Structure 1
Amino acid sequence: MRPRSIAVVGVSAKPGTAGRTVLTNFRLNNFPGEVHVVGRTDGDIDGHPVKQSIDDLPEGVDLAVFTLPAAAVRDALEACARRRVRAVTVFSSGFAEAGNKEAQDELAGIAREAEIALLGPNCLGYTNLVDGLPVGFANAREVVRVPKDGRNPAVAMVSQSGGLMAFASLTLASRGLPVAYTVATGNEAGVGMPDFIDFFAEDDATKVIALYLEEVRDPQAFLAAARRARAAGKSLVAIHPGRGERGKAAVQSHTGALAGDYATMRTHLARAGVVLVETLEEWVDVIELLARYPEPPTKGPGIVTFSGGFCAIAHDFFEDLGLEMPPLTEESQAELAPQLPSYIPPRNPLDLGTQAIWQPELTGIGTTALVKDGNVGSVLIAVNSGTAKSQGVYAPHFIGALKGQRKPAILGFPAPELNAEFEAAARENGLILSRSLERSMRALARVTHYGRDLERAARSVAYAPFANLPALGRGAQPEWLGKQLLRAVGVRVPDGDLATSLAAAEEIAGRVGYPVALKAQAGELAHKTEAGGVLLGVDDAAALRDAWAKLHANVAAAQPGLVLDGVLVERMAPKGLELMIGAKRDPKWGPVVLVGLGGIWVEALGDVRLIAADMAEADIVEELGKLRSAKLLKGFRGAPPVDIAAVARTAGLVGRLMLTVPEIDEIDLNPVFVHAEGEGLTAVDALVITASERE
């Protein structure tokens, strides 16, 4: 990022070629170090003597920039290794993104062995606008430098798509927000996202790190770097395509990436302090918000408007985004009331109606009240003022109330034109102007959820391993062993035991009490219900003998030759609301926990919440309240409220298992019968899968 010497390799004498553009960039921006040129032309190019071979370079050049066809890259990289070049940037395409992963892996191996920081291949290069260093072939220009002392907020952009990075950086520049660095990482055969995040975490000029991700190739390194950047006070804002099947296919064809599980990634990114947005507009809006207001709010937004209709729309909009609009504090109401006309109630949203036409100072009074209010986390000015003249009347009051304060705020003026003086004053004071109220509300909601995610991450639980757990086999564990594991960690399961004979089944049933359930047990019996291996409501000893024979006949017909571990004999559990609690371990990202509506409904409706494995129980309760079926938890149509605390406790135990027993790949408790408040829950089915398939 700050080389003292550079070699441009593959330079042609022909003007306008990639190598000449790279050289011109160095000249236009007065690169102070040594520049070497390697090419086939005799003489000199742009005043630089042309060396015929990389082997003619002095030893220890900081950076080599390859403007070469893909076929020539390997030999050139090997030559750089011989000359102890420290870093290499490769623009060339034709590697993993084109299906040629083997050639890319060879480059990675050479660079790793020679300790070369390799950027690319298939990248557009990068710019360091703090030091005035553009390393790119697309165009030559003199860049505007960004102060390195951090006096003004600036953004560093790291992207696996050069085109989208250009879109975002140009959009931010049009808003007066400088971009200090842009890095197109390409296929990341060598250095990648984590390396640049670490660099920007320590850079004084950078306030926000903006990321376009098509694949996070080393999730654990990425998450660790994100946490370090967040600890250094930087915000990270990412966008990632590939939520749907077509998006995944497009990602693969673009960079050779293999898209991972989006929901799992989102959960881990939130835990590490990364905002993940869903649209390009939201990306730049959130970047600007966090650059200008680096302390994300945790409380809901406040609104000042001239429209009662917009108040209703805003309530609906924020509710859909999972936010409430908080009431003003009693102190704010008492302070506002004597300053407002009697017919304007001091509340949030604050509708000033038409009175502001005659009393424009009300806009400043109302805005100041929301800025000072302890219940309000952010402020949106939502004024549909259609003329530049009227904007000029209100502007001084809004700007006076907002300038210099730290609470996130947006001036929303969806007008055909903006008053030039108003716009200039807003930019001069570092305020955010928006022409879209919906985009403004979405951005404020996103940064509020970000603030809450950071609070929840700070409450994460450091779990100790469990003691005296049963030994697990490899692959899918039979239910009886999964339930032994649950008992050992404190999750209630039905009374019962494994029977290997009819006599043992009769003894167990007599001990736990009828009615009982019989369940065939074998790790290889993946779908025991479909195989007729589950018989419920067995009422007495005679029925037990008949059920025993029927169960064995059913399983023998469904899977001939299968040897059972035995039959699980359990007392029928009292009914309750059917939920599911599960967990899975992504091979790259790590574990996540799922809670949601269970039984057949988990597949039919998919009403689940994905949560971090180390989430505190109080936060799990909050997540349960976000289920579409949350009304069922609180009592519905005469049913009593269920024991939500027991669900949260059990989800926490499942998370603890995933974090402390690394051989477990998956846990599925479905259904879990959740009983009335204070009566706990019972896990009536349990599937535990260990790591044999991953190995």
Structure 2
Amino acid sequence: MDAHAAISAGSAGKWSPPRDASDIVKSVHAMLHPRNIVLVGATDKPGNYAERIWNNLVKYGYEGGLYPINARRETIWGVDCYKDFASLPEKPDHVLVLVPARVAVQVIRDAAAAGARSATIVTSGFSELQDEESQRLAEELRQAVKETGLAVTGPNCLGNLSAGEKLFTNIDDRIVTMEQGRVGIAGQSGAIVMAIRQALEDRGVGVGYMVTTGNEVGLETPDLMAYFAADPSIRVIVVYLEGVRNTKAFRDACKAARAAGKPVIALKLGASEGGRAAAMAHTGALAGSIETFDAISTREGVIRVRGLDELIETTECFVHADTPKGNRLAAVSLSGGKRGLLIDAFYSAGMNFAPLPANASEQLARMLGPGSIVGNPLDAGFAAVVDPSVYMKSIKIMIDDPDTDIVIIDAELPKAPHELRERNLRIVNEMAAAGNKPVIYISAMSIGFTEHTKALRKSLPDIAVLQGLDRAVGAIKSLIEYANLRKEVPDIVSSSKTSARAMLEKMLKSANGAAALDEVGSKKLLKAYGIPISQEAIAQTSAEAVKIAKKIGFPVVAKVVSPDILHKSDVGGVVLDLNSAAEVRKAFDDIVKRVKKLKNKPRLEGILIAQQVEADLELVVGASLDAEMGPVVLFGTGGVDIELMKDVALAGAPIDAAEARQLIARTKAGVKLKGYRGRPALHEASAVKALVGLSNLIADAGTRIASIDVNPFLLNSKLGVAVDGLIVLNNEAARKAAKH
């Protein structure tokens, strides 16, 4: 039984709503490998979608049944036209919905009742519009899809491609090569997904599947990702994302792709305003959705590209280049100028060409002769003029060298027949196939492919051919980074104690709709989750403040406590370096006076007198609830210049101690923490404990906490403590406060 047959085994009949990964794979398979296709809303009005899709299905030779439905026609496009599902010669399998939105919902219900397993709703006029009627129809359609269990793409989409089935239910009239290529594409924008397919086709890269998901009322992009991960014919998954609707489904699909060794190359549209709604805390302002998307998805093996050109080069690279064993680069050029460009481009991307191993250098020096300069990259141009065989011998030495992980060749494919260059390319392709490392051709500029170039490119499956130096370097860097990912990513769950979770529930219940917990309440909850807290107590009078200061020991800090003041230093609510009773009394009185003068008349719950910790490094640790990607934890350089420095790194929550250390290592603060330029190493264990605790807290809270801001978290060689804390709640009061 082949892979597709195995997927579809036992799949006949009415579908139940997908419940797990195997159900999703079966649902998508039903859509992409149907027994027949029914076009509901067939019309021969010139240029309409139905006719264009029909023409594509006929042109590319779809071998299943093709049935148009239009109750007012007996024939159309030269074939029989049917009035309804009951009059078809067989049960419908895949239904293309091309009728107006007002009747599309009933078509879905009728199709399911007639035995259909899947549908593509090309029709628009649903949730993409803002009027009340369109929104009502969208909800009715969603309910119909849920109740019938049909595998549905759309509405408001442009159709799909399943090359192995010669299925092209799409309006695109550009040439399509119907071959089971190694790329699967899915995305919400039909125009962008179609453009990606066309660009890959123009580069001679085959696309096995292309699915436009539209409004995603049924199947979503992660469902297609899961299917591509399960299909052995697909090597690279390409997605265009306007938003992540189901974080768990997306992460599960990414994990499935990674387990199958298939990179997910994603073009993600914009940053979500929802991800910045937590800007009352510094953490929320720093953790926009794009940064959060990267923090979570990169861990799962997603390569996010920043434009379509970068997407094409990265896809080409992963389709034809195996992941390398390391990052040791070797390059061969025939030009000193291009050799310099290679060095500059890779250096700018944080990669370098190491000196060649002695054995390879000696072989090249003997071959190139006296006076030659043997380096990496190698400029073989002068010697190759004297003896053309030198060029190919140089490439072979690089490929055979066990101390080289990736071989780069500076050359482009010919636009017209060229016997010598094509012979050399085929020899290199054979070397690459026989070797165990990626061999990548780079053209410094983008060169248009002729039909000859495309055919030649397809005959060289074991070498990658990249264009545009900067984009090529980025693709190679992504290839190396993907190879360096942890081989297995465990599912980490919150490790918090029962007592901590009980404290969380108590504090959230006692908040009584407040926008945020005050500093005292925030720190109480932080302490329950294992975050080290400085010694402190709240004072209601200046005399009480002095008593607390003497108990703690000078110097101390005085800070206003108010649920209505989120950033205390902005209103003069923090006084440092208090070394005597007189200074404490004055600081208490001054803060009270300042607060009483504020226009918004904030509630004053007291003045916090806290231990002043001598710190070698000010950090920020925090957590935020991203609107798309869920809980995320943050670490970086803290203090008053946090937004200016923006030395932060993020990770999906919860995390364990190992991931906390990796997070710290991604920042400049992490470098300082280890002991920068002879300075003593600081107490990293405190920072790790704080990050794990914060990640557990934001994960345990579900959607009830918007952000947690611990700034500064002070660190020295003996300890680390949180001297400030702000927990912003995810409620209406917090959202109103954020707007003002």
Category of TM-score, reference length = shorter chain: 0.7 to 0.9
Structure 1 partner of 2:722: 683
Structure 2 partner of 1:236: 264
Q: Deviations over 1:110-163 (max 9, x none)?
A: 22122222221111101111111121244498x65425xxxxx61111122223
Q: 1:636 to 1:195 in 2, by over 3 A?
A: closer
CA distance in 1, matches of 2:448, 2:312: 21
Among candidates 125, 138, 141, match of residue 104 of structure 1: 138
Among candidates 149, 167, 173, match of residue 133 of structure 1: 167
Q: 1:382 to 1:343 in 2, by over 3 A?
A: same
Contact map agreement 1:156 1:208 (CA 8 A) in 2: yes
1:601 to partner: Cα distance:
1.8
Among candidates 92, 110, 116, match of residue 61 of structure 1: 92
Among candidates 8, 19, 22, match of residue 53 of structure 2: 22
For 2:270, what is the secondary structure of its paired residue?
coil
Structure 1 partner of 2:596: 556
CA distance in 1, matches of 2:528, 2:355: 47
Q: Deviations over 1:507-527 (max 9, x none)?
A: 331222112111122333323
CA distance in 1, matches of 2:324, 2:659: 19
Q: Deviations over 1:285-330 (max 9, x none)?
A: 1111111224366525332224455455434433432434445456
For 2:81, what is the secondary structure of its paired residue?
strand
CA distance in 2, matches of 1:33, 1:4: 5
Q: TM-score, normalised by structure 1?
A: 0.85
Kindly indicate whether residue 256 of structure 2 is the aligned counterpart of residue 210 of structure 1: no
**Letter of the 1:572 counterpart:** Q
Larger mean CA deviation between 291-300 and 682-691 belongs to: 291-300
Structure 2 partner of 1:445: 477
Among candidates 412, 415, 422, match of residue 442 of structure 2: 412
Contact map agreement 1:410 1:440 (CA 8 A) in 2: no
Q: 1:46 to 1:637 in 2, by over 3 A?
A: closer
Contact map agreement 1:578 1:672 (CA 8 A) in 2: yes
Structure 2 partner of 1:257: none
1:335 to partner: Cα distance:
6.3
CA distance in 2, matches of 1:495, 1:399: 67
**Letter of the 1:183 counterpart:** V
Kindly indicate whether residue 156 of structure 2 is the aligned counterpart of residue 122 of structure 1: yes
CA distance in 2, matches of 1:636, 1:185: 50
Among candidates 179, 191, 213, match of residue 146 of structure 1: 179
CA distance in 2, matches of 1:586, 1:243: 11
For 2:245, what is the secondary structure of its paired residue?
coil
Q: Deviations over 1:393-450 (max 9, x none)?
A: 8656644543443423321245889999998666423123344333321211122223
**Letter of the 1:580 counterpart:** V
Larger mean CA deviation between 507-516 and 79-88 belongs to: 79-88
Contact map agreement 1:363 1:397 (CA 8 A) in 2: no
**Which runs of structure 2 are paired with 1:615-626 in the superposition (5 Å)?**
none
**Letter of the 1:305 counterpart:** S
**Letter of the 1:317 counterpart:** A
1:363 to partner: Cα distance:
3.4
Structure 2 partner of 1:150: none
**Letter of the 2:474 counterpart:** R
Contact map agreement 1:466 1:660 (CA 8 A) in 2: no
Contact map agreement 2:532 2:690 (CA 8 A) in 1: no
CA distance in 2, matches of 1:339, 1:563: 83
Among candidates 667, 690, 712, match of residue 671 of structure 1: 712
For 1:130, what is the secondary structure of its paired residue?
helix
Among candidates 432, 435, 460, match of residue 402 of structure 1: 432
CA distance in 2, matches of 1:96, 1:614: 34
Q: Deviations over 1:560-598 (max 9, x none)?
A: 765544432112111433332222121431122222332
Q: 1:93 to 1:561 in 2, by over 3 A?
A: closer
Q: Deviations over 1:195-220 (max 9, x none)?
A: 22222222222111111122222232
CA distance in 2, matches of 1:619, 1:365: 45
CA distance in 1, matches of 2:545, 2:712: 24
Among candidates 88, 110, 128, match of residue 79 of structure 1: 110
Structure 2 partner of 1:525: 565
Kindly indicate whether residue 655 of structure 2 is the aligned counterpart of residue 655 of structure 1: no
Structure 2 partner of 1:253: none
Q: 1:467 to 1:307 in 2, by over 3 A?
A: farther
For 1:673, what is the secondary structure of its paired residue?
strand
Contact map agreement 2:400 2:435 (CA 8 A) in 1: no
Kindly indicate whether residue 637 of structure 2 is the aligned counterpart of residue 597 of structure 1: yes
Structure 2 partner of 1:12: 43
**Which runs of structure 2 are paired with 1:445-594 in the superposition (5 Å)?**
445-452=477-484, 454-455=485-486, 458=489, 464-466=495-497, 468-469=499-500, 470-471=503-504, 472-473=507-508, 474=511, 475-502=515-542, 504-558=544-598, 562-594=602-634
1:274 to partner: Cα distance:
1.5
CA distance in 1, matches of 2:206, 2:450: 23
Contact map agreement 2:85 2:91 (CA 8 A) in 1: no
Contact map agreement 2:527 2:533 (CA 8 A) in 1: yes
Q: 1:333 to 1:459 in 2, by over 3 A?
A: farther
Structure 1 partner of 2:289: 261
1:221 to partner: Cα distance:
1.1
Q: Deviations over 1:649-689 (max 9, x none)?
A: 543443343344535432212123333xx444333222223
CA distance in 2, matches of 1:648, 1:357: 59
Q: 1:228 to 1:140 in 2, by over 3 A?
A: same
Q: 1:3 to 1:420 in 2, by over 3 A?
A: closer
Contact map agreement 2:63 2:165 (CA 8 A) in 1: no
CA distance in 2, matches of 1:466, 1:340: 68
1:497 to partner: Cα distance:
2.6
Structure 2 partner of 1:181: 209
Contact map agreement 1:5 1:62 (CA 8 A) in 2: yes
User: What's the Cα RMSD here?
Assistant: 3.8
Q: Deviations over 1:473-508 (max 9, x none)?
A: 345222223333444444443322333455543333
Structure 1 partner of 2:298: 270
For 2:72, what is the secondary structure of its paired residue?
coil
Give the percent of matched residue pairs that are identical in Structure 1 and Structure 2.
27
Contact map agreement 1:477 1:688 (CA 8 A) in 2: yes
For 1:529, what is the secondary structure of its paired residue?
helix
CA distance in 2, matches of 1:561, 1:174: 65
Q: TM-score, normalised by structure 2?
A: 0.80
Higher relative contact order (CA 8 A, sep 6+): 2
**Letter of the 1:440 counterpart:** A
